[in-house]
């Protein structure tokens, strides 16, 4: 067999293309490229047309498909297919979601797409699949794209270079502020509400007339957000103005209580419908922007079920194409304003919208702008578009004038032109030389139809030439005069305002801006239905609440190995103070106790109580009540219960303890008490004035009694005049009172002396 002499060419080693570079610098460089792409080509809108690339490409594709408002609808799938195939190589779901939003009149103040079919609703239901829905452009979208064929913007290649797309849309419609935008980029975000076009135009006209206008003057014309869903903005004018001056801030949005069925004007504006017999109900017909009605109803129903809204009996959704949410109070004696305020505080009938005017300027640089700066930049972009349109039109006029002048020459020498065409071998060259015409003029003459060779055509050509020269002169003056450019822009804006004026259906303001009246003062306890409850807390920390005030000496069932800890009477509106031997106080609402059918639930499921901590006291909170707190070391102080309430489940550390010390005594101090009695493990008793006991919000306290060995056994406060009492034990539960307690009275911190005869052997007062 002959040897194979085929020479295999050496292929380049792929490892030769590897660049040796530090990993962190390579990673940061590539992440920066990704971040810039996200910021400039995905998440932030362009100041000039207020659109992100996906929205711009959607509208451009629909324009190419000739989906004008007067033309027939086309399937959304056709639009999405063109967009992802030609202009926007991303997922079809994301493109269709963007298209759906452009068609939702509850999402966009001025929709740019007109949808046919299920495009979702304010309840939060999704749109149908794109194979079922159809769409076309709205008049507003055409306004936004007006001038695309007039040389106003640059066209750039698409991602694969096969098509071209506009860099921005040149239309005069102020889409950025009119429809707003939201997006999250890398390290920055934007959130712009929608606004009223008439107010935007008014502020812009003022800025054109006076470039140095004060921000306060602009805010007299530009009142603030105008959301697609209406509702109310209840912040003060100063708050709104400050947000637009810096480009950052937030607005409080509230649902609008209003009823068209109410008879009295005051009731109608307050949303109150009288039902007869003193009964009434509240009606909401507008909800805050971006709040889904279905989830809002569920949220309110859950609040009723959880007894967070006891003054509300029921909520009904009676909406059709218009929103109508009905609130039925628990009784006719409920204050309507209290019910409104409680709904605002506990549900999404009041939300906040964060303003962040972060946009891309004409150089594609992200920047947070105030209202004046934003309008100034937009006016500058519109002036630039006006200049480009004028220059483009001048080029068209020059080309047309060239042809018209050639036609006129032909008409003036019609017989000779016909003769040249008829007999000359090269009529083009002869005509160019004889009449001093350009090649383009001669080509146009040679392409003329015979029917155009009539006298009337010559007159029309001369009139056209005069009109073109006049227009040319006006455009040249326009380009040479910034004042004329501003005047032209003002005139065009005035026409736009007439189309979207406050007296039109689309332009009428929907969101009412009015500072809210002072809120009706109410506590959360007022929202809890007051009912008696018996609190049962076992030694191992299982808690439950039995309805009604049961006898405190009643026997209750506990889990095996557990026993009674504390049993006390309370109301569902009360707060319970649970105290551990570590000196930490916890707060538990009596309305949140589990039912008493079983053994209850571990209190540690609700409160973050350490596993090794022991609950030493359970007290019903009473305002301004004083407690005696004492550790087994003999140190203690008085505390006010108002300072002991904890706002979190972690509780509040009140008594600071060192080493292995434990909190031993937590007892209420009666208003009439004037002395403190302390007994130690050594069976020594000391009595001193209550005035010597400091009142603290937190601390170790002071030494109540001094010990050589052992510690404190018990402490209590009493009225010296009435004497000191203690339980004698036994079934009868008798008590004994010693009135001559002056014999044990010393200064605080004394060692004390043996107690009166008959004092309990366990050294406990109770």
Query: Of how many residues is the chain composed?
Result: 766
Pair of tokens at residue 412: 């003036």
Catalytic residue, from 132, 244, 289, 407: name it: 132
Helices (H) and strands (E) in the chain, counts: 18, 35
The answer to whether the CB of 283 falls within 8 A of the CB of 257 is yes
For residue 109, what are the contacts with CB-CB under 8 A and spacing of at least 6? 178, 179, 180, 194, 195, 226, 227, 228, 510
Radius of gyration of the chain (CA): 42
φ, ψ of residue 316 to 5 degrees: the values are -130, 140
Closest CA to 421 of 440, 439, 442: 442
The answer to whether the CB of 230 falls within 8 A of the CB of 288 is no
State whether residue 408 is helix, strand or coil. helix
Please name the helix (run of DSSP H) or strand (run of DSSP E) that holds residue 377, with its range, or none.
helix 371-412
Q: State the Cα–Cα distance between residues 118 and 121, nearest whole angstrom.
A: 8
Tell me, yes or no, if 132 is annotated catalytic: yes
C-alpha distance from residue 438 to each of 397, 407, 435, 532, 751 (Å): 16, 12, 9, 105, 126
Q: State the Cα–Cα distance between residues 642 and 672, nearest whole angstrom.
A: 20
Closest CA to 195 of 143, 138, 240: 240
Three-class DSSP labels, 646-709: CCCCCCEECECCCCCCCEEEEEEECCCCCEEEEEECCCCEEEEEHHHCCECCCECCEECCCCCC
- Residues marked as catalytic: 132
């Amino acid at each position: 067999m002959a040897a194979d002499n085929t020479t295999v060419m050496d292929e380049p080693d792929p490892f030769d293309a590897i660049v040796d570079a530090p990993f962190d610098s390579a990673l940061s460089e590539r992440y920066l490229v990704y971040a810039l792409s996200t910021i400039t080509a995905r998440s932030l809108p362009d100041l000039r047309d207020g659109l992100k690339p996906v929205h711009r490409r959607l509208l451009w594709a629909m324009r190419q498909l000739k989906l004008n408002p007067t033309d027939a609808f086309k399937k959304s799938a056709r639009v999405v297919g063109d967009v992802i195939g030609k202009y926007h190589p991303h997922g079809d779901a994301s493109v269709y979601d963007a298209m759906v939003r452009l068609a939702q009149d509850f999402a966009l103040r001025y929709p740019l797409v007109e949808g046919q079919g299920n495009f979702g609703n304010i309840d939060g239901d999704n749109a149908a699949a794109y194979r079922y829905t159809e769409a076309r452009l709205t008049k507003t979208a055409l306004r936004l794209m007006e001038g695309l064929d007039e040389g106003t913007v640059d066209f750039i290649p698409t991602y694969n270079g096969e098509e071209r797309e506009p860099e921005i849309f040149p239309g005069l419609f102020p889409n950025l502020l009119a429809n707003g935008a939201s997006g999250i980029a890398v390290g920055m975000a934007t959130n712009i509400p929608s606004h009223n076009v008439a107010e935007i135009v008014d502020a812009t006209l003022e800025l054109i007339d006076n470039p140095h206008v004060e921000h306060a003057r602009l805010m007299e014309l530009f009142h603030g957000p105008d959301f697609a869903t209406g509702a109310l903005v209840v912040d003060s004018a100063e708050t709104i103005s400050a947000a637009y001056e810096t480009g950052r801030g937030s607005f409080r949005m509230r649902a609008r209580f209003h009823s068209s069925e109410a008879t009295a004007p005051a009731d109608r504006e307050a949303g109150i419908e009288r039902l007869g017999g003193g009964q009434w109900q509240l009606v909401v017909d507008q909800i805050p922007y971006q709040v889904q009605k279905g989830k809002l109803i569920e949220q309110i129903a859950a609040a009723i079920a959880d007894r967070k809204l006891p003054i509300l009996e029921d909520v009904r959704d009676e909406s059709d194409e218009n929103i109508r949410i009905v609130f039925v109070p628990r009784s006719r004696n409920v204050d309507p304003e209290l019910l409104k305020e409680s709904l605002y505080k506990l549900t999404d009938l009041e939300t906040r919208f964060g303003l962040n005017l972060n946009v891309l300027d004409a150089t594609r640089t992200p920047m947070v702008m105030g209202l004046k700066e934003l309008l100034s930049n937009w006016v500058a972009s519109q002036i630039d578009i006006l200049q480009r349109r004028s220059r483009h039109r001048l080029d068209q006029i020059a080309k047309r004038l060239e042809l018209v002048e050639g036609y006129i020459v032909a008409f003036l020498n019609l017989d000779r032109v016909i003769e040249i065409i008829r007999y000359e071998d090269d009529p083009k060259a002869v005509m160019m030389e004889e009449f001093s015409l350009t090649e383009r003029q001669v080509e146009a003459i040679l392409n003329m139809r015979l029917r155009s060779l009539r006298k009337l055509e010559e007159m029309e050509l001369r009139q056209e030439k005069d009109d073109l020269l006049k227009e040319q002169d006006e455009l040249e003056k326009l380009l040479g005069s910034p004042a004329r450019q501003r005047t032209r822009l003002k005139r065009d804006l005035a026409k736009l305002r007439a189309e979207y004026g406050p007296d039109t259906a689309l332009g009428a303001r929907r969101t009412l801006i009015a500072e809210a009246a002072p809120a009706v003062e109410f506590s959360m306890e007022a929202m809890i239905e007051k009912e008696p409850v018996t609190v049962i807390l076992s030694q191992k920390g299982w808690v439950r609440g039995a309805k009604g005030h049961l006898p405190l000496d009643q026997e209750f069932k506990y889990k095996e190995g557990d026993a009674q800890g504390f049993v006390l009477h309370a109301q569902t509106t009360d707060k319970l103070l649970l105290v551990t031997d570590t000196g930490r106080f916890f707060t538990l609402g009596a309305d949140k106790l589990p039912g008493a059918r079983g053994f209850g639930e571990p209190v540690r499921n609700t409160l973050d109580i350490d596993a090794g901590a022991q609950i030493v006291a359970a007290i019903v909170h009473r305002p301004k009540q004083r407690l005696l707190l004492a550790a087994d070391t003999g140190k203690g102080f008085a505390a006010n219960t108002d300072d002991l309430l904890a706002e979190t489940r972690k509780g509040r550390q009140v008594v600071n303890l060192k080493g292995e010390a434990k909190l031993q005594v937590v007892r209420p101090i009666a208003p009439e008490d004037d002395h403190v009695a302390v007994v130690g493990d050594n069976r020594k008793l000391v009595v001193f004035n209550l005035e010597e006991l400091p009142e603290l919000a937190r601390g170790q306290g002071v030494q109540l009694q001094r010990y050589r060995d052992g510690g404190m056994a018990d402490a209590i406060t009493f009225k010296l005049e009435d004497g000191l009492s203690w339980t004698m034990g036994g079934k009868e539960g008798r008590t004994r009172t010693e009135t001559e307690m002056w014999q044990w009275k010393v200064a605080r911190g004394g060692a004390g002396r043996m107690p009166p005869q008959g004092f309990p052997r366990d050294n406990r007062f109770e």
